Amino acid sequence: MDTPKPLQTATAPELAEQDANAQAYAEDGPNSAIDDALERILGNPPAAECPIMVLLVDDQAIIAEAVRQALADETSVDFHYCASPEEAVRCAEETRATVILQDLVMPGTDGLTLVRQYRQKPATRDIPIIVLSTKEEPLVKSAAFAAGANDYLVKLPDRIELIARIRYHSRSYLNLLQRDEAYQALRQSQQQLLATNLELQRLTHSDGLTGLSNRRYLDQYLAAEWRRGTRDKTALGFLMIDVDNFKAYNDTYGHVAGDEVLKRVAHTVESCLGRSPDLAARFGGEEFAVVLPGTSSGGLRLLAEKIRLAIEGLAIPHAGSAAGVVTISIGAANIVPSATEPVTTLIEAADVGLYRAKRDGKNQVSVSG
């Protein structure tokens, strides 16, 4: 800005570009994992149609043969047998059992200990366990349920009853697995949706070249801080920053180099800010703005000088500048907002200061008011 410019609002093309960037991200966002999970869940058959994996853990082969024969005509039931208590947990994991028939009395490790071991392993923690006992004993039955068993049968049970209980517990377990998978997919979807929305918000609020807040967000933020200052009777500071002789820089070094200068200036301006409420934004072209809530006039000038010196310290060569390097001019204003005045009062005051800094030789700070 080498001559005074009228105040501008964000143009329709600028807003359209911001919206297009956000829309492009929304369409290309990382949704494939969610789609795959949902497709997998929706493609799963109902629990009643899923194959049933029965694991019998019993040291007596005669019992295993009896159970195998009882299930032989059940085409949707796969039968697996483990005679060693030391191998029981591993077998349950490998066979992906949907129900475990666990004998209570086994050599070495008793059945209740195995029930507890199943419940301690994440892979077998929720698998239904039907305890098999030689007799109906209330104390033993109570201990089995306390250890984590789901059901209790006296062996050998009636075939129809055995199959009914196996199907009931397996169906409940498969329903649980499907609910858990659906819940995990939903949680993943919610987390990715949140991340996508945050990124969309960032893109909507960010300047595509510099990464600073864009003009749209600057206007929103400044209006909100104006209202806050009006309510709290606290001062609101504003810096209007312009890169000196920027047209000459573009004419000499090219627009690509000019874009790099704007990026470096933007990064430097933002790095000079030390408080979370302070906001740096691209105002338009080679102009930048800084909103400084609750800042004194003295603090405003100190920060403006800090930014000016930091830009000059970058020592970016500029043949068209009196200093020989890229410099900036800054107009500053500090006002206690009033409900009777528009927020543009603050921008106009800083703009007057910027014009004065340009008029008086550039590469300097001028505070209005």
Q: State the catalytic residue, choosing from 14, 225, 270, 286.
A: 286
* CATH number of the domain enclosing 143: 3.40.50.2300
**Residue 164 near residue 173, CB atoms below 8 Å:** no
Pair 76, 128 in one domain: yes
**Owner of token pair 């927020």:** 343
Does any domain span residue 238? yes
Does any domain span residue 322? yes
* pLDDT tens sequence across 63-114: 999 999 999 998 889 999 999 999 999 999 999 999 999 999 888 888 999 9
Which of 144-158, 228-242, 253-267 is the least confident region?
144-158
- Residue 49 appears among annotated catalytic residues: no
Q: What is the mean pLDDT of residues 232-247?
A: 97
Pair 104, 246 in one domain: no
Pair 231, 163 in one domain: no
pLDDT at 35 over 70: no
Pair 222, 123 in one domain: no
Does any domain span residue 193? no
Does any domain span residue 148? yes
- Write down which residue in 178, 202, 233 finishes a domain: 178
Between CA 146 and CA 112 the distance in angstroms is 9
DSSP 206: B
Does any domain span residue 2? no
Pair 172, 251 in one domain: no
Q: List phi, psi (to 5°) of 318.
A: -150, 100
Burial 80-112 (b: 16+ CB within 10 A, else e): bbbbebeebbebbbebebbbbbbbbebeeeebb
Q: State pTM to two decimals.
A: 0.54
Strand residue runs (E) in the chain:
52-57, 77-82, 99-103, 129-133, 151-154, 236-243, 279-284, 287-293, 328-335, 365-368
* CATH number of the domain enclosing 295: 3.30.70.270
Residue among 155, 154, 140, 86 at smallest CA distance from 117: 86
**Residue 292 near residue 235, CB atoms below 8 Å:** no
Pair 67, 163 in one domain: yes
Pair 219, 155 in one domain: no
How many residues appear in the chain?
369
Does any domain span residue 13? no
Does any domain span residue 137? yes
The count of structural domains within the chain is 2
Domain extent, residue 163, equals 52-178
**Residue 99 near residue 173, CB atoms below 8 Å:** yes
* pLDDT tens sequence across 317-366: 999 999 999 999 999 999 999 999 999 999 999 999 999 999 999 999 99
Does any domain span residue 1? no
Pair 317, 225 in one domain: yes
Q: What is the pLDDT of residue 32?
A: 54
Pair 235, 361 in one domain: yes
